[in-house]
């Protein structure tokens, strides 16, 4: 069993070439990915999603497991909902969020409409991914995405995005700032949303002045 640690912002700390090299180095072993991400680049996330699909096609008989450690938010939750995984587990402290895809847009009305059409297609594609994973209807899934829906710990399992809770290694109380029984979930959510907004700001800065890559957009939507 090969264990990989995939943690960070997609398109900032998690990049497809590095992850591809890690998967190649696993040499077709059974795989466990310990995953935590606040999300990030839609395009880079689409590349990673498709990278995992390619690895499954190349190695159809191996076990591919995912452990959601801290967060699977935005594009991170779409990756976590990939159908390639045989087992998806969470911690009591894990957080999972789905919402509509977003991007930065500059241009005339034709360019803006084209970008909007792309985002709607991306939403519909990932709605199918989430729906297939959870068993919820696509219509209800789209409603959840539009509302920016959050799940915590056991709620992730109840919603169908994971199948089990990792065994606790300690009976000690969770550390301050970690989602736990009896803690104020609203305060934790507010803190995570601040981190998420920081990620969005960084992605905006990275994409300023970058032209829309139509070829990569098509690749992202190949599903």
Query: Which tokens sit at 97?
Result: 């969020």
Domain residue extents for the chain: 2-220
Q: What is the mean pLDDT of the chain?
A: 85
CA dihedral (83, 84, 86, 89) positive or negative: negative
pLDDT, position 132: 98
pLDDT, position 46: 93
Dump the DSSP string for 89-124: EE-TT-EEEE--------S-HHHHHHHHHHHHHHHH
pLDDT, position 168: 73
According to DSSP, the residues that pair with 130 across neighbouring strands are none
> What's the pLDDT tens digit per position in 87-125?
999 999 899 999 998 766 667 878 778 888 888 999 999
Torsion of CA 128, 92, 157, 63, to 10 degrees: 80
pLDDT class for 12, splitting at 50, 70, 90? confident
> What's the pLDDT tens digit per position in 25-73?
999 999 999 999 999 988 899 999 999 999 999 999 999 999 999 999 9
Q: Choose among 15, 86, 89: nearest CA to 56.
A: 86
Query: Which tokens sit at 216?
Result: 């990569």
pLDDT at 150 over 80: yes
CA dihedral (18, 23, 26, 32) positive or negative: positive
**Yes or no: domain 2-220 corresponds to CATH 3.50.30.10:** no
pLDDT at 182 over 50: no
Angle 42-133-1 from CA coordinates, rounded to 5°: 85
Q: Choose among 77, 61, 185, 75: nearest CA to 133.
A: 77
């Amino acid at each position: 069993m090969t264990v990989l640690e995939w943690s960070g912002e997609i398109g900032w700390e998690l990049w497809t070439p590095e992850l591809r090299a890690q998967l190649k180095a696993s040499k077709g072993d059974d795989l466990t990915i310990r995953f935590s991400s606040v999300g990030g680049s839609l395009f880079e996330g689409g590349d990673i999603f498709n990278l995992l699909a390619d690895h499954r096609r190349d190695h159809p008989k191996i076990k591919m497991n995912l452990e959601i450690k801290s967060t699977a938010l935005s594009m991170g939750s779409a990756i976590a909902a990939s159908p390639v995984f045989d087992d998806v587990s969470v911690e009591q402290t894990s957080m999972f969020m789905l919402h509509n895809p977003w991007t930065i847009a500059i241009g005339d009305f034709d360019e803006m409409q084209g970008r909007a059409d792309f985002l709607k297609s991306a939403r519909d594609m990932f709605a199918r991914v989430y729906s297939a994973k959870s068993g919820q209807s696509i219509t209800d899934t789209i409603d959840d995405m539009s509302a920016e829906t959050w799940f915590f710990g056991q709620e992730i399992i109840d919603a169908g995005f994971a199948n089990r809770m990792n065994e606790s290694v300690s009976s000690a109380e969770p550390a301050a700032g970690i989602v736990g029984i009896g803690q104020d979930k609203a305060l934790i959510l507010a803190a995570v949303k601040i981190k998420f907004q920081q990620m969005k700001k960084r992605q905006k800065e990275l994409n300023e002045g970058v032209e829309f890559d139509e070829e990569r957009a098509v690749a992202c939507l190949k599903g």
